[in-house]
Structure 1
Amino acid sequence: MAQVVLQDIVKSYGSLYAVNHVSLTVDDGEFVALVGPSGCGKTTTLNLVAGLLPMTDGDIVIGDRIVTDLDPKDRDIAMVFQNYALYPNKTVYKNLAFPLQMRKLPKDEIDQKVRAAAKVLDIVPLLERRPRELSGGQQQRVALGRALVRDPRVFLMDEPLSNLDAKLRVQMRTEIKRFHQDLNATIIYVTHDQLEAVTMADKMAVMNKGFLQQYDTPKNVFDNPVNTFVASFIGSPAMSLVPLEVVQRGDQAVLTNEAGWELPLSAMNTRKALKATTNKVVLGARHSTIKLHKSETVGAVPARVYTVEPTGDITFVQAFVGEAVVIVSLDPTVIVRPDEDVWLEFDQERMHLFDGETTMALSAA
């Protein structure tokens, strides 16, 4: 396996930038997920690494080689696609063997590699079947096996689970994670499903409109989003964001909205809020960090229930705070109803504050 380095890579179509000066390093044996909404540039980035698209600017290094100008076949990478791309008239064995036959490897070596890959992915009983005789999950394992037999330095995976149903996706997430752990493989994985990224990846690269927004471990991205886009994209449900204004009252800052209520801030959050470029700030909070009260409470702000969504062990409540929707999770024994007046208490130790103009996270330091 090998390290992959993207050095200020650019892909533009005239004045439109699909990938806008992206730099990141994927360490040897690391699983990195590229995530973001449709059109954010994640698949284009993967295709640039694969050599399937010409790059406008920048360099890509795999191992100790600059591969920017090399053909895909010379980059020592293997791709797993969304649609499996299996040969329908070939058996599983022949699908796995085909890329090795193209490299003109000896027959005995091909057989050894095919059977070793089939054993790793638990598809030995399927070797004589054809793709139409396989389930979606089995076909995806065969597609992984075809990449594995090549013994590449890097695996590139483009939304490989998007064609599977929900139950199979969960199962295959586990299979791919185990695949990575057993082989210590270097994997770059594209997905629009941030849950896949959070559960499988060592690091995640969050992209939007061609820009790399944040590159860090899933935990750090979840706990410390660098801006409101990352905060609203990562997490299920997403972080609630409430636009407010900050007013200084002596040594303390308070947050206010048009309704006239005030939320006094702790000393740490006061330092954050007063670093905003204007008096506009955005309060961010995860559903699990907000307490819902059914009567007026000191330190809580008024809200009105919009929807109530029972999920079994947790009930999610969406409530309006001004014009913003805030999501709160409750024990299912707590009963609230749409249009009910409630009060929400934000945990000052776990709330986030963002600059209302730049959208960047505010720091107390």
Structure 2
Amino acid sequence: MAQVVLKDLVKTYGSVYAAKDVSLTVNDGEFVALVGPSGCGKTTTLNLVAGLIPITSGDIVIGDRIVNDLDPKDRDIAMVFQNYALYPQKSVFQNLAFPLQMRKLAKEEIERKVLDAAKVLDITHLLERKPRELSGGQQQRVALGRALVRDPAVFLMDEPLSNLDAKLRVQMRSEIKRFHQDLNATIIYVTHDQLEAVTMADKMAVMNGGLLQQYDSPANVFANPVNMFVASFVGSPAMSLVPLEVANQDGRTVLKSPEGWSLPLSDANARKAATLTSRKVVLGARHSTIKLHKGQVEGAVPAKVYTVEPTGDITFVQAFLSSSIVNISLPPSVQVAPDEMVWLEFDQDRIHLFDGETEMALRAS
């Protein structure tokens, strides 16, 4: 396997940036997910690494080689596509063997590599079948096997689970994660599903508008989003964001709403608020960090229940707070109803504050 380094990678179509100054390092044996909404530049970045589209500027280094001008076949990469791209008229064995035949390997070596890959992916019993005789998950394993037999330096995967149903997608997440662990493979994986990125990747690169927003471990991206886009994209349900204003009240720093209620800030959060470029601030909180009270409590702010969604072990409540909708999770024993007045208490150690002008996370000076 090999390290992959992207240095100031740019791809433009006329005046439009599909990828703008993307720089990141994928270490040898690391699983990195490129994640973001449609049109964010993640698939463009993957295709640039693969050599499927030419770069506008910047460098791509795989191992110890700059591969900017190399054809895809010379980059020592293997791709797994969204649609599997299996040959319908060929058996599973023939599909796995095809890339090796193109490299004109000896028949005995081809057979050994195919059988080894089939054993790793538990598809030995499928080798004589045609793709149409396989389930979606089995086809996905064959597509992985066809990449595996090539023994590439880097695996590139473009939304490989998006065609599967929800239950099979969960199963295949585990399969791909185990595939990575067993082979210590270097993998760059594109997905629009942030849950796939969080559960499988060592690091995730969150992209939007062709720009790399944050590159870190999933745990750090979740806990310390650098801006409002990352905060709202990573996490399910998404982080709640409430636009407010900072004010001074009786010598304390508070967040004030247009409706007149105020939320005093802890000393640590007051220091963050002191770095604002204006009075505009956005309060961010995860559903699990908000306590819902059915009666008025000191330090809690008034809200109105919008929807109640029981899921079995957790009930998700959406409530209007100021002009925003806030997500809260409750044990099923707590009963609330739409349009009911409630009070929300925020955990000051786990709330996030964002600059209302720049949308960047506030850090204590």
C-alpha RMSD over aligned residues? 0.7
Q: Which residue of 2 aligns with 1:245?
A: 245
Question: In the TM superposition, what are the counterparts of 1:37-76 in structure 2 within 5 Å?
Answer: 37-76=37-76
Name the aligned partner's letter for residue 35 of structure 1.
Answer: V
- The one-letter code of the counterpart of 1:330 is L
Alignment of 1:30-179 (within 5 A): 30-179=30-179
Secondary structure of 1:221's partner?
helix
Q: Distance in 1 between matches of 2:313 and 2:341?
A: 24
For 1:282 and 1:161, locate their aligned partners in 2 and report how far apart those are by CA, in whole Å.
35
**CA deviation digits over 1:180-234, x for unaligned, max 9?**
0000000000000000000000000000010000000000000000000000000
Q: What is the CA distance between 1:252 and its match in structure 2?
A: 2.6
Residue segments in structure 2 that go unaligned for 5+ positions in a row: none
Runs of at least 4 residues of structure 1 off by over 4 A?
Answer: none
| CA positional deviation for 1:249 | 3.7
Match of 2:351 in 1: 351
Corresponding residue SS for 1:12: strand
Alignment partners' CA distance in 2, 1:64 and 1:252: 56
Equivalent residue number for residue 342 of structure 1: 342
**Counterpart Cα distance in 1 of 2:96 and 2:258:** 64
Query: What secondary structure sits across from 1:169 in the alignment?
Result: helix
User: Is residue 225 of structure 1 aligned with residue 251 of structure 2?
Assistant: no
Q: Report the Cα distance in structure 1 between the residues aligned to 2:228 and 2:51, rounded to whole angstroms.
A: 33
Equivalenced residues, count? 365
Hey, what does 1:2 align to over in structure 2?
A: 2
Q: Secondary structure at the match of 1:37?
A: coil
How many percent identity over aligned positions? 79
Cα distance in 1 between the residues matched to 2:151 and 2:324: 51
Q: Which amino acid aligns with 1:273?
A: A
SS at match of 1:282: strand
Q: Which amino acid aligns with 1:212?
A: L
Tell me by how many angstroms 1:111 deviates. Answer: 0.3
Other-structure match for 1:317: 317
CA–CA separation in structure 1 for the residues paired with 2:345 and 2:77 = 51
Amino acid of the structure 2 residue aligned with 1:160: P
Map 1:164-313 to 2 at 5 A: 164-249=164-249, 252-313=252-313
CA–CA distance in 1 between the matches of 2:128 and 2:106? 21
Per-residue CA deviation, residues 237-290 of structure 1 (Å, 9 max, x unaligned), is 000000000012465310001111110100000000111110000000000000
Tell me the distance in 2 between the aligned counterparts of 1:270 and 1:18: 39
Q: CA deviation at 1:364?
A: 1.2
1:363 CA drift (Å) = 0.6
Quote the Cα distance in structure 2 between the aligned partners of 1:230 and 1:203.
14
What is the DSSP-based 3-state SS (H/G/I as helix, E as strand, rest coil) of the residue aligned with 1:283? strand
Distance in 2 separating the partners of 1:80 and 1:86? 10
Q: Secondary structure, in 3 states, of the residue corresponding to 1:157?
A: strand
Change (3 A) 1:5 1:250: farther
CA gap of 1:250–1:5, structure 2 versus 1, over 3 A, is farther
For 2:250 and 2:333, the matched residues in 1 are separated by 42
1:294-325 C-alpha deviation (Å, 9 max, x unpaired): 11111001100000000000000000001100
For the residue of structure 2 that corresponds to 1:188, the secondary structure is strand
2-side partners of 1:14 and 1:297: how far apart?
57
In the alignment, the residues of structure 2 paired with residue 101 and residue 58 of structure 1 have an alpha-carbon distance, to the nearest angstrom, of: 34
SS of alignment partner, residue 90 of structure 2: coil
Q: How far apart, in 2, do the equivalents of 1:183 and 1:274 lie?
A: 49
Letter in 2 for 1:270: A
Counterpart CA distance in 1 for 2:248 and 2:215 is 34
How far, CA to CA, are the matches of 2:107 and 2:251 in structure 1?
78
Provide the TM-score with structure 1 as the length reference.
0.99
